[in-house]
Amino acid sequence: MNDIKHVNVTTVDAAVAELGKGNAAVIAGGTDIVQGLKAMLSPNPPETLVNIKPIADLSKLAEEGGMLKIGPLTTLTELAESSVVVTKYAALAEAARRVASPELRNVGTIGGNICQGNRCWYYRAEHDVFHCIRKGGPLCNATLGDNRFHSIFGAIAGCIAVNPSDIAPALIALNATIVTSKQTVDAENFFAADLEKTTILDDDEIVIEIQVPTPAAGIKSAFVKFAIRKSFDFPVVNCAAAIGGGEARICLNGVYNLPRRATEAEDSIKGVTIDTASAEAAGTAAIADAMAWPVTGWNPSNKWMIEIAKTMVKRAILGCQ
C-alpha cells in the first residue's frame, strides 16, 4: 500500500478546500475505500484522504418539514434501527439492515454506501492485474470472461461492472434528493454513466445531506435482496419499491452500471390491485430489455440473473401490499 496523507476536517468548506488541492478522496467509514487502497487496485490512487467524520453537522437523522433529513455520516446501523425509518421508510430501513455484516453496518455510512465504487472481480482484482477498460485499459475483461455477476442491461462505454449499493435503489424508489456541497439532485440522477466514477460528484464536491420525502398516506415501500451468502454479502440483485395512490416507483440494483429504475414494471403495476399475478406480470415487464452475455469457453454467463431480477421485482411489489 502506498503512503497516504490523512487530513481531518471539521467543516464542509475545509473538506472542499482539501479536496480542491487535487489527488485527494473523502474517507467516511472507510470500509470501501480502504479495501481498494490496500488492494492497490487503482493505478492512480489518491495521495490524501480527507476524513469528514469530525464534521458534526453531517450526522443528523431527523424528520423536518415533511421529509427525513439524513446526514451522510449516519451509519447503516443507525438507519436500520431508527424507529422513524423502520415505521415510515420501510424500504430504506430494510436496505440498511441487509448491507454486509453488523460490524460493517456499525462503521459504514449512508454517504459512503451511495458513493462506493462499482463491483467487478476483474476491476477489483489486487495490484491492477487486469488493467481493464474502467482503469483506462483496452477492454472489459468481464465481457470476454466470467460475467456471472455482471450487467444484464448492457454496457456503458464498454464496461459491465455493476453498482452494488443496497441503499441506492431504496432512495430512488422513495424519490429522495441528494444535497451536495455544490448542487441538489434527484437520487435517480446522482449516479454517473462514466467509467472513471460512479456518481456525478466533482473531485472537490461532497454529499452533505440526503432528503427523503415522507411518503403520503397509502404508499407502502419494501426492499428485497438476493445474495449468495444471506447473512453477509453484496447483492446479486436487489429491488426497492414504493407503491400506492395510483403511483409506483421501482428500482433494481446490481444489474447495471447504475441503479436502474424498472419503469416498465411501474407502468404495469400503477393503479392495479397488487396480487401474485399482477406482481409477476410487472416482474416480466421489468426484464423485457434484459440480455445475458454469451457463454465463453468454460465461463458461465449471467443469464440466471435475469430470472432473479424478475423475482426480485415481483417480491418487492408484493412487499408493498
Determine the 3-state secondary structure of 225 from DSSP.
strand
- 91 neighbors 223 (Cβ within 8 angstroms): yes
- 208 neighbors 180 (Cβ within 8 angstroms): yes
In this structure, the chain runs to a length of 321
Q: Which three cell numbers stand for residue 178?
A: 441528494
Q: How many residues belong to the site for ligand FAD (CB under 6 A)?
A: 31
Interaction between residue 109 and ligand FAD (CB under 6 A) = yes
Which residue of 7, 25, 179, 272 would you call a contact of ligand FAD, by CB under 6 A? 25
What is the distance between the alpha carbons of residues 319 and 321, in angstroms, rounded to a whole number? 6
Interaction between residue 177 and ligand FAD (CB under 6 A) = no
Which residue of 18, 94, 166, 188 would you call a contact of ligand FAD, by CB under 6 A? 166
Interaction between residue 279 and ligand FAD (CB under 6 A) = no
Kindly state the smallest distance separating residue 279's Cβ from ligand FAD, in Å.
24
Which residue of 115, 242, 306, 313 would you call a contact of ligand FAD, by CB under 6 A? 115
What are the DSSP E strand ranges found in the chain? Answer: 5-8, 24-27, 48-51, 61-64, 67-70, 177-180, 184-186, 207-213, 220-226, 237-244, 247-253, 260-261
Q: What is the DSSP string of 81-118?
A: H-HHHHHH-HHHHHHHHHSS-HHHHHH-BHHHHHHPPP
Please, which residue, 51 or 301, has the CB nearer to ligand FAD? 51
> Footprint of ligand FAD on residues 39-78 (CB under 6 A)?
52, 72, 76
Determine the 3-state secondary structure of 277 from DSSP.
helix
Interaction between residue 191 and ligand FAD (CB under 6 A) = no
Please, which residue, 191 or 293, has the CB nearer to ligand FAD? 191
Closest to 134 (Cα-Cα) out of 297, 125, 1, 188: 125
Interaction between residue 9 and ligand FAD (CB under 6 A) = no
Please, which residue, 116 or 151, has the CB nearer to ligand FAD? 116
Which residue of 74, 111, 222, 314 would you call a contact of ligand FAD, by CB under 6 A? 111
Q: Which residues form the interface with ligand FAD (CB under 6 A)?
A: 25-33, 35, 52, 72, 76, 99-100, 104, 108-109, 111-113, 115-116, 164-166, 201, 206-207, 233-234
